[in-house]
Every structure is written in C-alpha cells, then in structure tokens.
C-alpha cells in the first residue's frame, strides 16, 4: 500500500511516497518560499501520484500532512487544517489542508503539527515504538514539542507549545533571553538562537566549552521536569540540532533526576537512559510520521 | 441503573450509591485511619449493596474507585490499583483495587487517581461537560491536578503531578518554600500549608490582605501557563479550599494572560472567564466522577 507524505517545514517542504512499513520510496525537496510559489510544486508532485493512468498499486491511497505551526488541528473547526498566526507572514491563515483537498480531490488526508507527526513516526517505528504516552522535544534554533496521550496526538484548544515553558533562572545567569514574547522562557534561554546570542557563536562551534552545555542541560532538564509532571509520558525523545552535542544528553538526564529529587518513583525514572532517549529515525521522523498519518486516514 | 462510588481521600472515605445521571442516592463517610480499620467498613457498605437477597434493580452494577495518590493506574501492571509511595505510611503499597475485588467478587470496577476522577465528574456533568481536553487543578493544603486528553484520563508512566511544577520566583519574594522534596515548587509556594507558613495564619484568615492573593495568583498563573503549554486543554477548572477566596480567580486570569502575552491566540484564551472557571459540582465531583468511572467499567 502506498501513501503520500508531506512534511511542510519552515525552510523546506518534503514531498514523499512511502509504504505501510514506513519506508520512503521516493521524495523531493521544495524550498519554503510563499504559498503561491511552493504549493503548485507540491500539488504537481502528488497529482502525479494519483494519476488515473497509473495502475492502482502504484497510486497513493491517502496523504498525510505534517505542518509547521501553529496550526488548527481541531477536526470540525471552521479553520481545521489552516496554518494560524505564524511569524512567516506569507503563510499566515493559509488553508493547507483545504488547498490540497481542492487540488487532489477525494483521497483521505490526515493533518497534524510537525512535532506531533515526528512523534507519531517515532511511536510507530522508532524510539517510542508501541508506547501510548510519549513526548518528542525538538531543540533546534527554536524549540517545539509533540505529545501523544493514550495513543493519540495531544490537541485540545491548540496543540502543545512547550517551547515557551516558564523557566526558573539558574543562579548567576543574567542573560535576558531571546524570545520576543516571553524573554527568558525555555526557547528564549535554550534554543539555538539563544545559545548563539548568549555565547557569541553558533552552538556547533561551542563543543569545547563545558559551561555552555552545563547551563543548557539545566534549562532543558527544567522543561522536561515540567513536561513529565503534566503529561506523565512513558518516554521523552530528544531531537533537533542542539542535541547533536553528544555531551548534552547525559547532563540532561542528571539534572532531570536532580529536579525530580526522588519525588516520583517509577520504573521509567529508574531507567533514565531509556526514559530520556535520542530520536531513532535519523531525521526522517517527520516524513515517516506523515506516512503513518496517511495510513490512519486511509483506515478511517 | 445503580453504581457504587468510593472516594478514598486522605482524611475521609466517602462510600456512595448513585445512578447514571450522577445523582448520589446514599452515602456514608468513614474517617481515613489505617487499612485495617477503614477497609472493613468500606467493604461492609458495598457488600450490602450487592447482597443476593436484593432485587436486581436495587443492586449496584459496578464500582468506581477514586483514590488519593500516588496510585498505579496502568492497567496490566502487576501493581495496578495499588497506592504507591504515599507519605501516609499505613497506606503505602496498599492494594486498594485488589482488596475490593477479593471482597466484592466479580462486579466490574474502575480505578483512578482522585483528581482525575473529579475531572471526569466535571467533564460528564459539570464545568467541562462534553469537553475532550480539560484540566482540574485542586488547590487546597496541597495541590493536585487531573487531566483528560482526547476524552481519556492522562496516565502514562504514572499520572500528572503538577503540584510540583517548577516556579520562577516572583521578584522580591524570598520565602524558601514548603515542599520537602522541592522547596519552592508550585505546591511549595502556593499550597495552603505554604500560605500559612509564609504569612503566619491560615489562608481563610487572610481574606483582607490583598498582597497575599496578588502573590498567590502569580504562582497559580505560572502553573496554569505551563499546563496550557503542555496539555493544551479546552478548559482549566479550579477547585480546592484556597479557591474559596473569591478575589483570587480574577487575578489568576489576569496573570495567565500576562504570562502568555498574546503568544497563543485561541478562542479559549479570548474567553478567559470561561477558559479558567470554577468547579461546578459543589465538592461532589469526586463521588460523581467515581459514579462515571463505574458506569464506564460496566459498559466495558
């Protein structure tokens, strides 16, 4: 069975075809410019995959759309499938799902926030395989979080926005923070842009400065603690470019245990190396999650 | 249809019989002492409600158990239905569900954390009626949180423990905090015991001190902000004795909007008075939630 997968990100759109095992069989990358420039190429790609002249087993049976946020994921809402108040002005209020439905017709479509989709990929084939309650925290230039609870992506009034969790300032740290809305929130203290502003260099050039990663780990650990106190996940998957610093993950685990301070006694926290773990799908979790979203839409 | 409901709290156990409309038809209150003293009375009450000599329509068809935490809510776990590492030593590791199953035999039983049950009551008949994603925050001497996501109670590795969210200290506040595990966490700064230690009087005697409630509201607002950034609820219900201070709720709403600072734009936040709302079931949400838990167990 073939599925279409669109991973619509802030810098690039990945259009792909995959199968029920999450294997990506074909993909193209389109730069994210404006809807007028980007969307016709996306539509052209998927139109060719539903062309009536194709044999049935070479056609995609459904499309999964993983989209940068904020997005309206509330089925039944008038703006379901729209991008909302993004700082990317050209995409603000863009009806992503509606545009694709109008162009591609009747094939089943699934739609979710990119980090929720990435987690869906990890929960189907990766680091959280088989778990019903898990979190994917992506720490790159910005910070995003996807979550599943009881096996379903967390939606509600919007979707998680844990990049903006309130931080307790680490004693001695007087950096003002990088978030235009909140200053010293999680992303404002620990996102890649914050690291670069705070230390005067991009994160990838700071690998030999232990003090950078000590401080970074303390803020990530605070966020993870707040996340486990609210969502109670069975696993927290860490991804994004900042996590490429291999000294960071052990420090994060250490400071999470310090923050929890034995208050919660679970087998997950006793096995912290498995509880807080790297992503397993090598950067393909977004596309693979979109494949799984398509597979769910096809089954409904 | 009649259901049994047990609301097992830290100071009292309420045993009740209710119907499918959430009406409580009979109830007794038993003080919480030790399992050896308390449980025989609980069992005696419910045994009489399944007595074979009763006509079928006077028997309870299922039992819902709402229990103080921490509890093991993971169905399939070896210790499912047990109380875990509570500070109430006599109840530590007590197999609540197993004890009732052995005493009462085969009637269907549901089991959950007390604050999850209270929310289930509010989501069935109260302030969150019909919502799939909601939170109940109980601010009393301690602080507890129940949550539903996609209509189901949030479980995972344990259950929410949002009373221990990390706080950012309000400038000028040098109170050390009351939590034995975390000092200045949410409960440590804003629970009833913290209020009493900080100001030298119980909360109910501080109604004429506006500075108490300004500070209290700022910490509650921080916690609510972290909760809405992770769980994305459609409604946050506030209960517990501290919320009886009627000046508190408007301040909490004001400071939540300050914390979010327009970063999230949803109809819920635009209608803050409905988004952050008091509990509606007059202290009966625990028993009513247990009735609903029984009704779900009967239907399974």
Q: Per residue in B127-176, pLDDT tens? A: 999 999 999 999 999 999 999 999 999 999 999 999 999 999 999 999 99
Per-residue pLDDT, A125: 97
Helix-strand-coil split of chain A, %, nearest 5: 40, 20, 35
Residue of A nearest to B169 (CA): A168
Per-residue pLDDT, B282: 86
Q: Do B266 and A157 touch (CB under 8 A)?
A: yes
CA atoms within 13 A on the CB side of B159: 29
Nearest to A159 among B167, B225, B232 (CB): B232
Partners of A267 on chain B (C-beta within 8 Å) are 157
What is the mean pLDDT of the segment spanning A51-67?
96
- Domains present along chain A, CATH in parentheses: 2-117+283-299 (3.30.420.40), 130-278 (3.30.420.40)
Residues 6+ apart with CB under 8 A from B185: B163, B164, B165, B166, B167, B177, B179
What is the mean pLDDT of the segment spanning A216-235?
98
- 10 Å CB burial of residue A184 (0-12, 13-18, 19+) is buried
φ, ψ for residue A267 (rounded to 5)? -65, -30
Query: Rg of chain A's alpha carbons, rounded to an integer?
Result: 20
CA atoms within 13 A on the CB side of B268: 22
Q: Do A161 and B263 touch (CB under 8 A)?
A: yes
Cis peptide leading into A70, omega within 30 of 0?
A: yes
Q: Do A231 and B231 touch (CB under 8 A)?
A: yes
pLDDT in tens, B56-99: 999 999 999 999 999 999 999 999 999 999 989 999 999 999 99
The pLDDT mean for chain A works out to 97
Q: How confident is the model at residue A282 (pLDDT cuts 50, 70, 90)?
A: confident
- 10 Å CB burial of residue B7 (0-12, 13-18, 19+) is buried
ipTM of this complex: 0.96
Q: How confident is the model at residue B186 (pLDDT cuts 50, 70, 90)?
A: very high
* Global pTM exceeds 0.80: yes
Residue of A nearest to B158 (CA): A232
Nearest to A162 among B157, B167, B230 (CB): B230
pLDDT in tens, A87-103: 899 999 999 999 999 99
Q: How confident is the model at residue B106 (pLDDT cuts 50, 70, 90)?
A: confident
Distance from CA of B241 to the nearest CA of A (A): 22
pLDDT in tens, A190-219: 999 999 999 999 999 999 999 999 999 999
Q: Do B165 and A222 touch (CB under 8 A)?
A: no
Per-residue pLDDT, A270: 97
> Choosing among A136, A149, A187, A233, which should be mutated to test the B contact, i.e. which has the most B CBs within 10 A?
A149
Distance from CA of A84 to the nearest CA of B (A): 9
Q: Do B169 and A167 touch (CB under 8 A)?
A: no
pLDDT at A130 over 90: yes
Residues 6+ apart with CB under 8 A from A284: A24, A121
Nearest to B232 among A158, A164, A229 (CB): A158
> Choosing among B155, B161, B166, which should be mutated to test the A contact, i.e. which has the most A CBs within 10 A?
B166
């Amino acid at each position: 069975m073939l599925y279409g997968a669109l991973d619509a990100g802030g810098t690039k759109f990945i259009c792909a075809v995959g199968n029920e095992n999450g294997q990506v069989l074909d993909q193209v990358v389109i730069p994210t410019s404006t809807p007028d420039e980007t969307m016709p190429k996306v539509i052209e790609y998927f139109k060719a995959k539903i062309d009536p002249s194709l044999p049935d087993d070479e056609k995609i049976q459904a499309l999964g759309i993983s989209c940068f946020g904020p997005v309206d994921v509330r089925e039944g809402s008038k703006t379901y499938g729209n991008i909302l108040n993004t700082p990317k002005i050209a995409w603000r209020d863009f009806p992503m799902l509606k545009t694709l439905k109008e162009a591609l017709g009747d094939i089943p479509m699934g739609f979710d926030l990119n980090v929720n989709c990435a987690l869906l990929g990890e929960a189907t084939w990766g680091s959280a395989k088989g778990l019903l309650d898990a979190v994917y925290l992506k720490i790159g230039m910005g910070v995003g979080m996807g979550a599943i609870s009881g096996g379903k992506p967390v939606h509600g009034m919007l979707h998680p926005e844990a990049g903006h969790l309130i931080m307790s300032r680490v004693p001695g740290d007087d950096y003002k923070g990088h978030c235009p809305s909140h200053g010293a929130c999680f992303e404002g203290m620990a996102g890649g842009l914050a690291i670069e502003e705070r230390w005067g260099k991009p994160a990838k050039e700071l690998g030999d400065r232990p003090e950078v990663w000590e401080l970074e780990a303390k803020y990530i650990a605070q966020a993870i603690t707040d996340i486990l106190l609210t969502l109670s996940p069975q696993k927290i998957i860490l991804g994004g470019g900042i996590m490429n610093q291999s000294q960071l993950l052990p420090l994060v685990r250490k400071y999470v245990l310090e923050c929890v301070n034995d208050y919660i006694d679970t087998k997950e926290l006793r096995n912290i190396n498995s509880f807080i773990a790297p992503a397993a799908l090598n950067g393909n979790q977004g596309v693979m999650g979109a494949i799984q979203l398509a597979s769910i839409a096809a089954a409904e």
